[in-house]
Structure 1
């Protein structure tokens, strides 16, 4: 019989649980230890209350102070009516408040739904509506965009939203810094098998696909990632990529560093102009980047006056790193390279610190856990020959058995015996390392941000002058892919200009990274589909 589904309050069977035989096996092996993320932070604070945990510009928090702030924020959210099992959409940039709010929700047992900062009205409205979110947390402004007005429009359209909380100047909404209350211990917090957080899946087909990670399986992932990356209490991790992403948050990222008792330094932007001074000032030892950013850092390191000698490890993920750039990392930055491949559904694969150079620069490493079961199969589901490319299937103690509220989708996304069909094409080396060679489904990866082209096509078809549309990714040496829209105009109508298309999609609230750079005319779509 399946183990009980993770508890989501009134929606207790929103996502499938692990079969009991597997759950028992993972507990017996020590993968699931009956911890919660909030309890783990409290334990670190009790052991080392005066150790610095979090740095954001001139602001510094010890473990003791961070734990107390998280308690107060959790109490304040509870006073607003946010209860265990409620969902709260969090769209905050790289600021300390992201961690304060996210950790408070984890402690309260109200799963945060982590939105990207480049999501706009269309994505936020969809997320809030689909999750029946109780609250939405945003910054006042970021990257030249006013999120208060956006959040207000979303709140007007989503009836479950009771609160919009704003970090900074609140406008007509509730200021985030007015929320904290007097902590009352113990709060009615989560159990280890409850859902910790909800994150967007990379295997979306246009509608939201959310992955519910439990405290047990997520902490297992942090521990194994810490071990493989050498993260311990002496680690100083620079959170350069957006903190809501899988790699910078928990592979092992910021949460893995806090779990180990190390220090997290928040960088508002990932570029070398911002990050290099922070590395020098805080003596950063580890960070994570996407391939395009890694290339920028390599080029900038040749002329920088900042001392980067403390850096010991650069993780690169989000897309495969080309071999030429991979070989430049260590000579340019003076640190080890670790390639990382992962899915939102839980699998993380990485090169090891003691792997041969050829493995590090040409593969995405091995799964972190010995109990991660890997299959590489052909279209019929049969195992391919060693070294041949095939579809990657995985199950294990950190890989979920289904998406949240998506039973029909899961009939295709998971096999009958619980393997997740990742949608990636890989081959395995003789040493067991994975090499990602492509995608099974149509998907665009622009600078590490993945999305389904069908989503953009559906918006384009709403344009009054567009009869048909196909969106594809075009190879780009910097971003990986750029976005091209092939359009058939309606009879008698002109082809919309690229500027008109971009303005139209912007007005519909689509995130900027999904908006096509190029617009081309097409008589039919037979030659454009990927």
Structure 2
């Protein structure tokens, strides 16, 4: 399925930023050129995560596993453009399965591993998957059984597939395709799929409320990977430690950058401090991504060790920078730091920190070229929406070869769910931004929308939480609040208004949410009772007014 228009494809292909290879094609190319080079390494504590031994793959072995998995999918009768939903830990299987879907011409939808039955039942009907793939257990949670239960009510699901031992009845094993690396196997059924076809569907919290996902093609992922590859100077000698599961823009861009570099990808399931430090030493890591406030996760002794390790590395990438922080995360802990701005799944910007200073504003037009950038193409161009430029209320406009072209499912008719694009081809991200007083003015971008909380790197729709909390039968109204936190980004609180004469304890409220089988991050850490939930003229929660009551 191709949703990019012909003119866009011709333009970016002519500029050389889009090419002729799919992501699995990049893997196959490196497997031919350097078959014995180490490609992919599992977390050393994988046994604790999903009761499976850690594995290592050369490029030839990884390519063979991708062949076998793709052959399994095709043998089952899955067809190009069928959708496969994937919920796996941050292991080799997650990466190899995405690439196998690429090779089979399937569309893969990686699901956050922290989602539970509530989120799966809300999201999956919107994409109508033909197959679900997971592991038997992930960090003690019976994911295969959960997927099996969810599949019962999804008419489109034909197969539930899983990795690991002792899978429940009705879940087909993919373990043989994984562990047969290096033992040969059936001949690969390779087809020449168009790199402009959709490879992934990813989620953004507010779009999810509208039943929509973000589709990206192989070439759009190549562009996202180039942003990291060029700024970091990655090459075949790079050893990349990836601590984020591949369910959103930044970690998937890191996988793309790895494939482009021909280096080694080391997986880390978040987050074990001791394992992370050991991996840096044992695998001689040269590049990693860390969350803001990561230094506060470590003890004083471990922080000193972390500083020594990071300073010995080529560079370190910091994801999801918090707003309003004067001191940069990991300040002084790494000599070569790259900051990444994730623009709410629309695109990402990577900039090397100069003189230890965090860049808070960007020039309009082409983003300052990465240190190792190409001469012929800007990987992102920024502008500001016309209305509100001087009075506030302006939003960030974006043009980039990594930006998506439509929502999924595709819009039907002129009044469908189309992204807002201006006459110059700039996409309206909806992210608040403002012009600084510099000469010339620069763009200062809000790191988030007011209606989205960022908890542990996971975007959470405040509107969704409002409805979820207010659905308790003993409440007349409720709203979600947040407080800033240097490690988690924001911590979530619930403000409730009980019905007259009723009381609801925090324990009762938590039990109610657990019974709804919601993801753990949606359960608030505190609850407060208020007299009312102030709302605006359109029914929106006035969160500052609620906080004033608290």
Aligned CA distance change for structure 1 residues 364 and 342 (closer, same or farther; 3 Å): farther
Q: Could you tell me how far 1:98 is from its partner in structure 2? A: 0.8
CA–CA separation in structure 2 for the residues paired with 1:412 and 1:493: 45
CA–CA separation in structure 1 for the residues paired with 2:484 and 2:416: 29
> Are the equivalent residues in 1 in contact too, given 2:249–2:345 (CA < 8 A)?
no
Q: Could you tell me how far 1:209 is from its partner in structure 2? A: 3.1
1:74 paired residue number: 70
Aligned CA distance change for structure 1 residues 128 and 205 (closer, same or farther; 3 Å): closer
Q: Could you tell me how far 1:356 is from its partner in structure 2? A: 4.1
Pairs aligned (count): 505
Aligned CA distance change for structure 1 residues 356 and 391 (closer, same or farther; 3 Å): farther
Q: Secondary structure at the match of 2:207?
A: coil
Q: Could you tell me how far 1:512 is from its partner in structure 2? A: 1.0
> Are the equivalent residues in 2 in contact too, given 1:350–1:367 (CA < 8 A)?
no
Task: Say whether residues 1:399 and 2:399 are aligned partners.
Answer: no
Q: Could you tell me how far 1:477 is from its partner in structure 2? A: 3.3
1:12 paired residue number: none
Q: Could you tell me how far 1:40 is from its partner in structure 2? A: 1.1
1:357 paired residue number: 356
Matches within 5 A, 1:226-265: 226-250=229-253, 253-265=254-266
Q: Secondary structure at the match of 1:188?
A: coil
2:426 paired residue number: 419
Q: Secondary structure at the match of 1:127?
A: helix
Give the alignment's Cα RMSD to 1 decimal.
Answer: 2.9
> Are the equivalent residues in 1 in contact too, given 2:396–2:445 (CA < 8 A)?
no
CA–CA separation in structure 2 for the residues paired with 1:340 and 1:155: 37
> Are the equivalent residues in 1 in contact too, given 2:406–2:419 (CA < 8 A)?
no
1:273 paired residue number: 274
2:373 paired residue number: none
Q: Secondary structure at the match of 1:145?
A: coil
Matches within 5 A, 1:126-275: 126-169=122-165, 170-172=167-169, 173-178=171-176, 182-188=185-191, 190-204=193-207, 206-250=209-253, 253-275=254-276
Q: Secondary structure at the match of 2:352?
A: coil
Among 503, 526, 529, the alignment partner of 2:534 is: 526
- The worse-fitting range, judged by mean Cα deviation, of 36-45 and 158-167 is 158-167
Task: Say whether residues 1:92 and 2:92 are aligned partners.
Answer: no
CA–CA separation in structure 1 for the residues paired with 2:514 and 2:460: 16
Q: Could you tell me how far 1:346 is from its partner in structure 2? A: 4.0
Q: Secondary structure at the match of 1:100?
A: helix
Q: Could you tell me how far 1:76 is from its partner in structure 2? A: 0.6
2:97 paired residue number: 101
Q: Could you tell me how far 1:415 is from its partner in structure 2? A: 4.4
2:461 paired residue number: 452
CA–CA separation in structure 2 for the residues paired with 1:132 and 1:305: 44
Aligned CA distance change for structure 1 residues 418 and 300 (closer, same or farther; 3 Å): farther
CA–CA separation in structure 1 for the residues paired with 2:261 and 2:192: 22
Task: Say whether residues 1:53 and 2:62 are aligned partners.
Answer: no
> Are the equivalent residues in 2 in contact too, given 1:456–1:515 (CA < 8 A)?
no
Q: Could you tell me how far 1:166 is from its partner in structure 2? A: 1.8
Aligned CA distance change for structure 1 residues 390 and 517 (closer, same or farther; 3 Å): same
Aligned CA distance change for structure 1 residues 167 and 482 (closer, same or farther; 3 Å): same
1:38 paired residue number: 24
Aligned CA distance change for structure 1 residues 208 and 493 (closer, same or farther; 3 Å): same
* CA deviation profile, 1:47-71 (whole Å, cap 9, x unmatched): 0001000111352110011001101
Aligned CA distance change for structure 1 residues 414 and 327 (closer, same or farther; 3 Å): same
CA–CA separation in structure 1 for the residues paired with 2:176 and 2:312: 38
CA–CA separation in structure 2 for the residues paired with 1:38 and 1:205: 28
TM-score of the two chains, using structure 1 as the length reference: 0.87
2:546 paired residue number: none
CA–CA separation in structure 2 for the residues paired with 1:449 and 1:174: 30
Where does the alignment leave 5 or more consecutive residues of structure 1 unmatched? 1-5, 8-15
* CA deviation profile, 1:378-436 (whole Å, cap 9, x unmatched): 6x2x5459xx9942111222111221126467457544654332232234665887543
Task: Say whether residues 1:514 and 2:518 are aligned partners.
Answer: no
2:119 paired residue number: 123
Task: Say whether residues 1:17 and 2:25 are aligned partners.
Answer: no
Aligned CA distance change for structure 1 residues 205 and 135 (closer, same or farther; 3 Å): closer
CA–CA separation in structure 2 for the residues paired with 1:90 and 1:156: 17
TM-score of the two chains, using structure 2 as the length reference: 0.84
